[in-house]
């Protein structure tokens, strides 16, 4: 059972497209699997003859289980199992299918197999950078000498930039192929899930002082100049980072490098599904109006597919805000190489104890997802306490 997405643990086999004894060409679909994201055809990367079906239709099969055996074409006695696991170094399912935009498939970095079954030589650096940048090496085209090196990864990275649009944009303003970006996020999330030992720490905060201040402030402004509650919230989170520097920075090659600046990734929903978290730079130093303007600009550009690649590359910490009319709390997943993410639930009125009496207050549950290789729950707790303190005096933000 191949892993068809980073979060896929099992699939239900719904149909066999080949019967035992049938010839299978490389790339033939052999079965259909129902996943959380819909029915997906499984193709074979091993040509030969289907010898034996091991799993009957209707069965739920964990990723990595053998589904069937295929006799290799060279008449080899050994049968190649049709399966794949996330860690299998030379798996049968290798050259992943081209991902469908906006669809469920979330291919991970895979060892590259050249047609003709020879492994394409890929340099260690190219493999590492591709993984770090969320580029699926299976999609890389080898150079003229048949190998994949740094040059091919950089070409692929550059190719991610134009969103299928004419190349009329300035270099710094190159738009991004959102589908490709989504694939990159998928790979990054898979990596995060695989590599980062997460911990989560939550606090529920009373937002009454913040909202009261916001109401007063916005009352004096024309509608285009009004602030969203997200703006002071982001500022508070950014400033609180100073109290827990181990949450702000990058972890690469077994080394954590804290960042003096707070470049905050802001998760924004994309058209066609998915989220993306480009960075607003130096959030802790921006005044609220500037931050509001930047946030507006960012949302517009995300929706228009016109992000700058640097905005994706360099957040030092991310905030994922669920927004209004959504859900109460979120356990967010860190975007590597960052080491923390702050998840904000919707604002919801809750019973609240104030001065020994029970009152109703607008509250928000904020959850810090931290990288246990770098920090621990105490850091997150300290950070949350600081956020709470800052939000009590929003006028000082």
Partner 1 sequence: MSATRRITYREAVREALREALLRDPRVFLMGEDVGRYGGSYACSSGLLAEFGEERIRDTPLSESGFVGAGIGAAIGGMRPIVEVMTVNFSLLALDQIVNNAATVRHMSGGQIAVPVVIRMATGAGRQLAAQHSHSLECWYAHVPGIRAVAPATVADARGMLWTALQEPNPVVIFEHATLYNDEGEVPGEGELAVDIDRAAVRRAGDDLSLITYGGSLKKALAAADALAGERIGCEVIDLRTLRPLDEETILASVRRTHRALIVDEGWRSGSLAGEIAARIAEEAFFDLDAPVRRVCSAEVPIPYPRHLEEAATPQVDGIVAAARGLVRR
Positions that interact with partner 1 (CB under 8 A): 123-128, 143-145, 147, 149-151, 253
Give min distance, CB of 336 to partner 1, in A: 16
Q: 125 or 353: whose CB is closer to partner 1?
A: 125
As a whole number of angstroms, the distance between CA 223 and CA 240 comes to 29
Q: 127 or 263: whose CB is closer to partner 1?
A: 127
Asked if residue 267 lies in contact with residue 277, where contact means CB atoms within 8 angstroms, the answer is yes
As a whole number of angstroms, the distance between CA 217 and CA 109 comes to 49
Three-state secondary structure call for residue 295: helix
How many Cα neighbours within 13 Å face the side chain of 160?
26
Q: 124 or 223: whose CB is closer to partner 1?
A: 124
Give min distance, CB of 147 to partner 1, in A: 7
User: By C-alpha distance, which of 375, 115, 69, 71 is closest to 243?
Assistant: 375
Give min distance, CB of 251 to partner 1, in A: 16
Give min distance, CB of 343 to partner 1, in A: 32
Give min distance, CB of 149 to partner 1, in A: 5
Give min distance, CB of 123 to partner 1, in A: 4
Q: 134 or 175: whose CB is closer to partner 1?
A: 134
User: What are the backbone angles phi and psi of residue 205, rounded to the nearest 5°?
Assistant: -115, 150
Q: 127 or 235: whose CB is closer to partner 1?
A: 127
Angle between helices 178-195 and 150-160 (to 10 degrees): 120
As a whole number of angstroms, the distance between CA 228 and CA 237 comes to 15
Asked if residue 333 lies in contact with residue 189, where contact means CB atoms within 8 angstroms, the answer is yes
Q: 70 or 148: whose CB is closer to partner 1?
A: 148
Q: 150 or 389: whose CB is closer to partner 1?
A: 150
Q: Provide the Cα torsion 393, 365, 376, 255; round to 10°.
A: -80
| Strand-pair category, 48-53 with 317-321 | unpaired
Give min distance, CB of 255 to partner 1, in A: 13
């Amino acid at each position: 059972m191949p892993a068809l997405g980073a979060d896929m643990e099992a699939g239900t086999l719904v149909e066999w497209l080949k019967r035992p004894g049938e010839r299978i060409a490389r790339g033939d679909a052999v079965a259909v699997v129902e996943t959380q994201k819909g029915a997906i055809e499984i193709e074979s990367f091993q040509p030969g003859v289907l010898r034996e079906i091991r799993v009957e239709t209707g069965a739920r099969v964990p990723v990595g289980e053998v589904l069937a055996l295929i006799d290799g074409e060279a008449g080899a006695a050994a049968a190649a199992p049709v399966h794949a696991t996330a860690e299998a170094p030379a798996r049968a399912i290798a050259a992943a299918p081209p991902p469908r935009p906006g669809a469920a498939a979330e291919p991970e970095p895979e060892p590259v197999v050249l047609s003709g079954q020879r492994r394409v030589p890929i340099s260690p650096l190219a493999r590492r950078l591709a993984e770090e940048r969320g580029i699926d090496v299976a999609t890389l085209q080898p150079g003229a000498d048949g190998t994949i090196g740094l040059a091919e990864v950089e070409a692929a990275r550059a190719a991610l930039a134009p969103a299928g649009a004419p190349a009329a944009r300035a270099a710094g303003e190159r738009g991004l192929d959102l589908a490709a970006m989504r694939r990159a996020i998928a790979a990054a999330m898979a990596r995060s899930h695989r590599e980062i030992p997460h911990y989560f720490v939550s606090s529920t905060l009373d937002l009454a002082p913040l909202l009261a201040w916001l109401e007063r402030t916005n009352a004096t402004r024309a509608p285009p100049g009004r602030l969203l509650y997200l703006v002071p919230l982001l500022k508070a989170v950014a400033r609180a980072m100073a109290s827990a520097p181990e949450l702000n920075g990058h972890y690469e090659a077994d080394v954590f490098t804290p960042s003096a600046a707070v470049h905050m990734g802001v998760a924004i929903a994309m058209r066609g599904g998915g989220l993306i978290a480009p960075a607003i730079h130096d959030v802790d130093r921006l005044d609220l109006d500037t931050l509001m303007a930047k946030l507006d600009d960012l949302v517009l550009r995300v929706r228009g597919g016109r992000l700058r690649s640097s905005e994706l590359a360099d957040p030092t910490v991310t905030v994922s805000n669920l927004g209004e009319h959504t859900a109460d709390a979120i356990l967010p997943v860190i975007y590597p190489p960052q080491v923390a993410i702050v998840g904000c639930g919707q604002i919801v009125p809750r019973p609240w104890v104030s001065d020994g009496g029970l009152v109703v207050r607008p509250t928000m549950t904020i959850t810090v997802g931290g990288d246990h290789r770098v920090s621990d729950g105490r850091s997150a707790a300290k950070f949350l306490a600081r956020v709470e303190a800052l939000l009590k005096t929003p006028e000082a933000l």
